[in-house]
Amino acid sequence: MNEIKRIYNYRELLKTSIKKEVRSKYKNSFLGVVWSFFYPLLQIVVYAVIFSLILKNKQEHYTIFLCCGIIPWTFFSIAVNKSAFVIIENGNIIKKVYFPREIIPISVVTAETINFLISTIIIIGFVIFGGKGISKYILSYPVILIAQYLIILAISFIVSSICVYFRDLQHFIGIILQLLFYATPIVYSQNSIPTGFQWILKYNPMTYIINAYRDIFYYGQAIKIKPMMYMIFLGMVGVFLGFKLFNKLQRGFAEQL
Amino acid sequence: MQEYAICVKDVYKNFNVYLDKANTIKEKLLFLSRNRKEKREVLKGINLNIKKGEAVALIGTNGSGKSTLLKLMTKILYPNSGTIEINGKLTSLLELGAGFHPDFSGRENIYFNASIFGLTKKEIDEKLNDIIEFSELKNFIDNPIRTYSSGMFMRLAFAVAINVNADILLVDEILSVGDEHFQNKCIEKMLELKQKGMTMVFVTHSMESVKKLCNRAVWLYNGEIQMDGNSDEVIKKYVEVTK
């Protein structure tokens, strides 16, 4: 409780860091906010061409199907990837000023959440103009977002603090994310996978997140409540443990940087 | 206990000095034996109690552990053993302008810098005019920081730092800011804050400012307290020995 109050006292810093983080993405670039649409769109086009034209995937409305997976995934992977570098990038301030270090991962994840909210417009655009139509189940979007936010924040606490001690973990993270991309039903659907490999998807939290987004946007059906509750619970436990770990490791930050 | 602002009890701090540091897992696995490190004891059993409203100077030669002690007090570093207790809101000025962003205007940087010190937007709004006035930047305040001269930069940074409401202020070697006029202004402001009952700890090599500001001085030598007492006496002895 004390810890939360400590961070709350620095809420202005949290706000300004989030703002800076969001703005820095678009500042100094000619296309500005357009980038946040352009990048995922380009990705969708590439995967759509590969998997539906070249590999002849039979999924109907494959582009919409893809888009419901890729955009939440991009949110996840960029946030995790950034976390690996963010403490080291801020080394100068960390060595010179005291402030609750937790602010750094929290603001990275929150800024990426805002970017994700913006790019959700792309999903909605695809759903409307792709001929699927919006269903009422879209209202459960915030529930999925909360689950995803918690899971990402937990990973961010862990990754950002460990990477200070082992610098080359940053490269591993990139590779692991790449593997995880294919171990999550993003370019394919869960039931198209042979039963022998199902267990991989079963233990991957992102499977449930992506499936839930797909439920509300692509299939137009209710999310599965039970797994979603598990994910939120898992996220909360993860955030708690991640916070503890971060708190322990941050004591050595100034010396390691 | 409440009469003390800072209680440092039996604090030890070591640094591991790596001669060839394996910073990566790869290197750690490949060269298990190569991790030569040297333990350097920077602080050896420091005991120091600072009363509320006291102004204390930490003096000593380079490498005596003054800055480390300050960093321990502000929780940038943590001790290997011993405890440090702080009563009240603490602000430390280890380096001016930490977190300044060159592309943003002076005004925006005030907000960013002050928020690092833990101020809320409302508090900064209230202080804004004082800060701008103290910095004497006038019309330049809305220009980007990168166009400032180094003196202007320092003045702005100092103005923010000094206007942060705190019970305890830690200052490391930054009193040599700007021209003489501004230096005097800073010292005056410090004296004013001292009158108001703020606890202050300075690290400095300028004996002049110690005499002006502090009634107590602590002389650190090789990580141990060599002498602690009235600033005039400690300085006299210190100057004699280091000559």
Q: Per-domain residue ranges for chain A? A: 2-256
On the 0-12 / 13-18 / 19+ scale of CB atoms within 10 A, B222 is: middle
Residue B22: which pLDDT band, with cuts at 50, 70 and 90?
low
> Are B18 and B35 in contact, with CB atoms under 8 Å apart?
yes
| End-of-domain residue from the set B134, B163, B192 | B163
Q: Which residues lie across from B70 on neighbouring strands?
A: none
pLDDT score, position B23: 64
Same domain as B158, residue B107: yes
Which residue range(s) make up the domain with B117?
A: 101-163
CB-based contacts of B203: which residues, under 8 Å, 6+ apart? B57, B58, B59, B66, B67, B70, B171, B172, B173
Q: Is the pLDDT of residue B154 over 90?
A: no
Tell me whether residue B96 is in a domain. Answer: no
Task: Please give the backbone phi and psi of residue A69, each rounded to the nearest 5 degrees, phi first.
Answer: -95, -45
Both structure tokens of A245: 């770990």
Q: ipTM exceeding 0.85?
A: no
Q: How far is B110 from chain A (nearest CA, A)?
A: 12
- Looking at per-residue pLDDT, the higher value among B28 and A66 belongs to A66
CB contact under 8 A, A167 and B112: no
B123 and B145 fall within a common domain: yes
Residues from B in contact with A at Cβ < 8 Å: 15-16, 23-26, 28, 71, 74-78, 90, 92, 94-95, 98-99, 101, 111-112, 114-121, 124
CATH number of the domain enclosing B58: 3.40.50.300
Single out the residue of B23, B202, B116 nearest to residue A255, CA to CA. B23
> For the packed helices A62-89 and A103-129, what is the interaxial angle rounded to 10 degrees?
170
Residue A19 near chain B (CB below 8 Å): no
Number of domains in chain B: 2
Regarding whether B214 and B171 lie in a shared domain, the answer is yes
Mean pLDDT check: name the lowest of A13-22, A172-181, B67-76, B175-184.
Answer: B175-184
Q: Flag whether pLDDT at B65 surpasses 90.
A: no
Q: Which of B231, B220, B227, B207 is nearest to B56 (CA)?
A: B231
Would you say the pTM of this structure is higher than 0.90? no
If asked whether residues B116 and B141 sit together in one domain, one would say: yes
Q: Residues with Cβ < 8 Å from A86, sequence gap 6 or more? A: A104, A105, A108, A160
Judgement on whether residues B159 and B170 belong to the same structural domain of the protein: no
Q: Indicate if B214 and B155 belong to the same structural domain.
A: no
Q: How many CB pairs under 8 A join A and B?
A: 67
Same domain, yes or no: B145 and B178: no
Contacts of A92 in chain B (CB under 8 A): 98
Do residues B190 and B83 share a domain? Answer: yes
* Residue of chain A minimizing CA distance to B94: A96
- Residues ≥6 apart with Cβ < 8 Å to B60: B66, B219, B220, B221, B226, B238
Q: Chain B contact for A234, CB < 8 A? A: no
Q: Does residue B182 sit in the same domain as residue B216?
A: yes
**Chain B neighbors of A93, CB-CB under 8 A:** 98-99, 116
Hunting for tokens 């300028």 — which residue is that? B206
